[in-house]
Structure 1
C-alpha cells in the first residue's frame, strides 16, 4: 500500500469518527435555481438529489439535479460547533418546507390562475434571505457574541445591499461580509 493511500485511509477514518472536524461541516450553504428562483439549503458545498426534497410541491420539483442550474447564493461560516451549524441548517430548511404550505393555504393566492400562482410559489430567494437574517439574529451563541466570528459570503454585493435595504431587516453588527468566489459558475472556491 502506498503512503498516499495510507494517508487517505487515515483521513477517512478520522472523518468518520469525528464528523465535526471538517471546516465545511461548520458552514451552511444556500443555492438558488437560475430559472425558477427556488432555494435549497445544504451543509455541503454542492447540491445533491436528497436536497430536492426541500421542494415539497412535486410538480415544481426538478426530476434530477443539474449542477449548472443551481448557483451558490450565500455561504455562512464561523459556527463554533457542527451542532450549531446543523441547528441553523435545520431551522432554515424547515422554513423552506413550510413556505409552500403557507402559500397554498392562502385563499386569495389559490383563487389566482395556476399560470400566475406558479411563479409566485417558486420565487423563494427574498423570503429565504429574510428568514436567514432572522435566524442569525436569534441564534443564542451568535447573539451572545454580537455576531463576532460569523462570516457571510455573498454571491454578489447587490444581493446583500438589496436585502439590508428592506424594512425591518438588519444583521448584528459583528457579522463580517465577503464575496463568494465561484469558479465555472457553480464551484465554490473560498468556503
Structure 2
C-alpha cells in the first residue's frame, strides 16, 4: 500500500510541477524563417510590408510558443540570415577561446544559440582578446569579445570620416 501511495504522489507531483518549456513570447517568422525578437531589432521597419498574427499556441523544436507572428518584407529573398557561430567562423580566426558577442556595443545576453543576423547588415567585425584588459592579463580566464558593427547611420558616418593626424604645427614659423 505504501508503494502505491508513494508512486501516486510521485506521479502527480511530477505531472503538476514538471518542466514547462513554454516561452511567453510568440514564434516570429520573418520571410518564413524562425527568428528571435532580438533579431527583429536589427531590421529596418521601413522594409516590412505586412504582419500577420495568429493567436494559437505552437510547438517548434520541443519549445512551446504562445502564438505566431508572420512578418513579410517588401523585397523577399533579400535577407541572408546567419547565426553567431557562423559569424565567428567566417569573420574571425578564433578557434578555441570562449566568446562574448556584442552588436553595436551592446552585449547579447539571451538567445545566443538561436540569434540570427542579416549578413548584409554587418559592416565590420572587431575582435578584442581578454589580454587587452589590464585586470585580465594575469588571470587564467581567457576569452574574446566579438563586436559586430552594423550598418547603422552612426556607424556609416564614422566609417566615412577621415582623420588627419600630425605632430608638427602647420603655418607657424
Q: Whose strand proportion is higher, 1 or 2?
A: 2
TM over 0.5: no
By relative contact order (CA 8 Å, sep 6+), the higher-ranking structure is 1
Q: Whose helix proportion is higher, 1 or 2?
A: 1
* TM-score with structure 1 setting the length: 0.25
Structure index of larger Rg: 2
